[in-house]
Amino acid sequence: MRGRIAAALSLVVFFAGKTHANAETVLFTQPIINISADSGGRIGDFMSRLHKYKYANAQVAFSGNCDSACTLFLALPHNQTCVNTGAVFRFHAPTAGSAEVGVAAKHFLMANYPSWVRSWINRHNGLTTQLISMDYNYASKFMRNCGSMASR
């Protein structure tokens, strides 16, 4: 029985590694990831994508709505992001199964945002259940314009 469990785990690890490698290959063949209508999702899923993009040196172009957990992509290095006219970043407190998890998730988000995003959020009463929107005009003060990426 123990041998079958070990063999099954080996297969899971093998195939998981293949899936991960394929995802990174896609990132290298697709150097610019355009965010134009991302409604967010689970923080863990976005953190996983954030790390894949970061280590693949993928370029992320914000062109439209980037809501909720999508805003974690703002934690990418400055040279990996750019913003187009019409980009909107929308923030709110994360939803969670318990108050403690919600507080921890909120602290996690704030710790990962760059300082200019944290400052903006704090000036708008922090992360609450109310949706707050950061527009292109503000973000473009801190981010590269995507037109400048064409010459990179």
In this structure, the answer to whether residues 88 and 17 fall within a common structural domain is no
Could you give the CA distance from residue 126 to residue 56 in angstroms, rounded to a whole number?
Answer: 32
pLDDT band at 137; cut points 50, 70, 90:
very high
pTM: 0.76
Cα maximum dimension of the chain: 62
> What domain range includes position 14?
1-30
Give the model's pLDDT for residue 19. Answer: 35
For residue 15 the two structure tokens come to 């195939």
Alpha helix ranges (H) inside 36-135 = 43-55, 99-112, 115-123
Question: Residue 96's closest CA among 121, 67, 134, 129?
Answer: 129
Q: What is the pLDDT of residues 75-111, one digit of tens each?
A: 999 999 999 999 999 999 999 889 999 999 999 999 9
In this structure, the answer to whether residues 114 and 147 fall within a common structural domain is yes
